[in-house]
Structure 1
Amino acid sequence: MRIDESFAARAPDADAMEAMARRSLDGLPLEFREQMGNVVLRVEEYADAESLNAVGLTHPMQLSGLYTGRPIETKSVSDFGTLPDIIHLYRQPILAEAAQRRISVEQLVHHVLIHEVGHHFGFSDADMHALEDSAD
């Protein structure tokens, strides 16, 4: 998809998108924020081939966010030396989808972030789609 030039000129950079995501995290209820632990937030331009392959996708514009790590219900106090959990937000796919859907980038960042936070709490994609459908 081609993003119109006026939109691209005012599109948020990675730092601005990260600030949007942090505002969304700060807006979570305290009981959820407390369980986010040391989850790292990263804004990258696109998913790499390994990440795409891991979720069965082939094109970097197909993936707007990804949670890598272990859901909290599978963690143990005896875990040691594990990599941090990471929420990846992919800037270019988010910008393209926001333009296509004619919604604000901040709305879409919030939506994608909450979806990835759901994975941290052990929800599957099917679980989250069902919750979204019941909220509509």
Structure 2
Amino acid sequence: MVDMDADTFEALVGDVFDSLPDDMVNGLDNVAIVIEDRPEDGSLNLLGLYHGVSLDHRGQYGFGELPDMISIYREPLLHIVTDATELREQVRITLVHEIAHFYGIDDDELHALGWG
């Protein structure tokens, strides 16, 4: 387990997001990435969650839609790692996983690609 305050964790998530390939993040229109301490149920089992309608299931999408959201859960991530390097890698995996859901890639395909 790693101990890291919320501001430092947020900066780390921002750095990791900024390091992702442009072709992965350029299409994230109207998507908010938020950092929360824990999921709604309070568990430590969920690292991130995509809230929204994936691109492959959208019909007409236009003005006035609330943004889709990717939640990154700080305490569960801190709980499963042993150092800052491992945390950075796990944040990267979690971001890629949730961004993939935005693009319509399901868990089975993510597992097959090694991102599950």
The TM-score with structure 1 as length reference comes to 0.72
Corresponding residue for residue 107 of structure 2: 125
Deviation at 1:103, TM superposition (A): 5.7
Gaps of 5+ in 2: none
Deviation at 1:80, TM superposition (A): 4.1
| Change in 2 beyond 3 A, CA 1:78/1:48 | closer
User: Within 1, Cα distance between the matches of 2:30 and 2:91?
Assistant: 20
Corresponding residue for residue 89 of structure 1: 72
Deviation at 1:33, TM superposition (A): 1.9
User: Within 2, Cα distance between the matches of 1:62 and 1:29?
Assistant: 27
Q: CA RMSD in A?
A: 2.3
Corresponding residue for residue 104 of structure 1: 86
Residue 9 of structure 2 is aligned to residue 17 of structure 1: yes
Identity of aligned residues (%): 31
SS at match of 2:27: helix
Deviation at 1:121, TM superposition (A): 0.8
Alignment of 1:24-39 (within 5 A): 24-39=16-31
Residue 38 of structure 2 is aligned to residue 41 of structure 1: no
Deviation at 1:24, TM superposition (A): 2.5
Q: Which has the higher contact order (CA 8 A, sep 6+)?
A: 2
The TM-score with structure 2 as length reference comes to 0.83
Letter aligned with residue 73 of structure 1: D
| Change in 2 beyond 3 A, CA 1:102/1:14 | closer
Corresponding residue for residue 62 of structure 1: 45
Bigger fraction of residues in helix: 1
Gaps of 5+ in 1: 50-58
Larger CA Rg, structure 1 vs 2: 1
SS at match of 1:62: coil
Letter aligned with residue 66 of structure 1: L
Q: Tell me the matched-pair count.
A: 115
Corresponding residue for residue 56 of structure 1: none
Deviation at 1:75, TM superposition (A): 2.9
